[in-house]
Amino acid sequence: MIPEPQRTYLLELLTALGPAAHGLTLVGGHALRFMIARPRSTRDFDFVLDVAYLRGCDTSLASVLASLGYSVDENARNFQFEKPIPNSPEVMRIEFMAPAEFVRKGEIRVDVQSGVHGRACVGGSIVVVETDKHEVVGSLPDGKPARAEVQVTRAHAFVLLKLLALDDRYRNVRGPTHAEHNREEARTHAGDIVAVLSAQTNLGEFRKRFGSQFGPGTALKGGTYQIIRDYFGDETRPGLVLYGESLIASLPSGETVRDLGSELLRAQRFVSSLLLE
């Protein structure tokens, strides 16, 4: 469940958006809360936008966000928004992504509506199809009870996005000034992939859903499977090094991982099982 105080302000956003909320699919760390028992802590809400739906929608996302007190992040104009949560040190941060098929030529932006862009997301067109609706129940900022549906990416589509993001961050395409941050992000992605696969009760069924989401004859499928081989093909691969780093980083000061080798081997078997036909 989304924790407070973020839950209240997620409900505020979904309620204010009305039907336009159907064009938002939750991904990232908060999506994990609907997939595993013990998700990592995160403050950011990441959404992949259904561009075709929102372009035909009467609701202006930019107007709704402005009315709720969100401001544009100057470093990511029109696809990252934030606002302070009253009487709290917490901040609501929202990032919009959109299927890369809609990207501006030579850019990373997708025009969604006036005043709102999405950061181009490879695999985003799969995510907006592979979703499930979940109910969020709580209160609005004024104390009134509220409930709303949020669309959340399915676990196999989540793993797809995480594999692509892991490869992007590990290759550090943004340059040496971003190296430390990208390494940290890559660790997070590796940990999320293993966490979701570890929570599956039927890996065979998960593997079928993972493979079928691509559709026939897509280059994305071949590229994604190559990422699995490159990062998790055996115990020496960088995805497992990153996963080990994520385990160590999550421990309280002074503690060590018990039997790290066995845990890495277990993780390698889980992820590489996606390659089996």
Give φ, ψ of 94 to 5 degrees: -125, 130
Percent of the chain at pLDDT > 70 equals 95
Residue 227 has pLDDT above 80, yes or no: yes
- pLDDT at position 235, please? 84
**pLDDT tens digit string along 75-100?**
777 899 999 999 889 999 999 999 99
- pLDDT at position 79, please? 93
Q: What is the DSSP string of 25-75?
A: EEEHHHHGGGT-SSPPP--EEEEEE-HHHHHT-SS-HHHHHHHTT-EE-GG
| Arithmetic mean of pLDDT over the chain | 92
Q: CA 45 to CA 57: how far, in whole Å?
A: 22
Sign of CA dihedral 183, 187, 192, 194: positive
Domain ranges in the chain are 6-153, 156-275
Q: Are 125 and 110 in contact (CB under 8 A)?
A: no
pTM over 0.85: yes
Report the residue count for the chain: 277
Average pLDDT for 229-241? 94
- pLDDT at position 106, please? 84
Average pLDDT for 64-71? 97
Q: What is the DSSP string of 117-171?
A: EEEEETTHHHHTTSEEEEEEEEE-TTS-EEEEEEEEE-HHHHHHHHHHHHHHHHH
- pLDDT at position 252, please? 61
Give the Å distances, CA to CA, from 38 to 21, 33, 198, 252.
26, 8, 12, 16
Contact residues for 92 (Cβ-Cβ < 8 A; gap 6+): 6, 9, 10, 13, 45, 70, 82, 83, 84, 85
Q: CA 201 to CA 212: how far, in whole Å?
A: 19
Coil, strand or helix at 84: strand
Q: CA 58 to CA 61: how far, in whole Å?
A: 9
- pLDDT at position 41, please? 86
Average pLDDT for 246-272? 81
DSSP 8-state class, residue 175: -
Q: CA 152 to CA 25: how far, in whole Å?
A: 5
